[in-house]
Amino acid sequence: MTVLPQATVFTYVQDGPNVLVFLDFHQAVTAQPIPLPNWMIGMVATLVESYGTISLLSSVVSADGIMVSVTGYGSAVIKLSSQN
């Protein structure tokens, strides 16, 4: 797993056919790429839960992963699912 020094928490787990991404930031970031493995490219990203001021800027995982912005403190659970 890639280290993301801007995040207090960054991890993901498989949940059946889906992947759940857990994020927690204690600082502001703008259009922060969240690096994900290549096998996740093309998966649809959906914000399941969020607290604070975090925004999901990506709807699909790209080669750069997904992007988020935080204007202070924010945490989120993001579900990645196949397009079918």
- Taking the CA atoms of 33, 35, 40 and 41 in sequence, report the sign of the dihedral they define: positive
pLDDT tier for residue 26 given thresholds of 50, 70 and 90: very high
Give the class (CATH, top level) of 9-81: mainly beta
| Segment 27-82, tens digit of pLDDT | 999 999 999 999 999 999 999 999 999 999 999 999 999 999 999 899 999 999 99
Tell me the DSSP string of 26-71. Answer: SS-EEEEEE---GGGTTPEEEEEEEEEEEEE--SB-BTTBEEEEEE
pTM as predicted: 0.92
Q: How far is CA 77 from the centre of its chain?
A: 7
CB atoms within 10 A of CB 26: 14
